[in-house]
Structure 1
Amino acid sequence: NVTISINEEGFREAAKLEGHKILAIGDSFTFGWGIEQRLTWVELLEPSIGQPIYNMGIHDSSPKQEFLLL
């Protein structure tokens, strides 16, 4: 079982968007469907680059939906 928490902005992210300079926009791979949040590629990349990344992945999305987030 995997616990998924969604913030008030509708994303799988504990932090607020303000203050983030890097956004990860994508589909269920970015969202991390089926895995704990700490195991998403977004969470795993953060320590390597030393910057917080805001996960805007949306399960079952399309490139058009991802573009509209911009």
Structure 2
Amino acid sequence: MFLASRPGPDAHVLDAARRAGVEHVVLVSSITVQTRPHLGPAGENLVVERLLKESGTAWTILRPTQFASNARMP
């Protein structure tokens, strides 16, 4: 399962996925979990990462950097 999450029902989504037999979850997080953990969104991503790691399901966490940036938006 590919999970682009936001805080809130993520624990329920992960639980439902496990019960449905999902074998692997790929989570889109953010590099700020490591580089700027004091920022609000980084903390939110960290919570979801922890939920995934504790879910009992195989997981991969992607932490995109510049390709996910909106720095060049007009």
Q: Same fold (TM over 0.5)?
A: no
TM range (shorter): 0.3 to 0.5
Name the structure where helix makes up a greater proportion of residues.
2
Name the structure where strand makes up a greater proportion of residues.
2
TM-score, length of structure 1 as denominator length: 0.34
TM-score, length of structure 2 as denominator length: 0.32
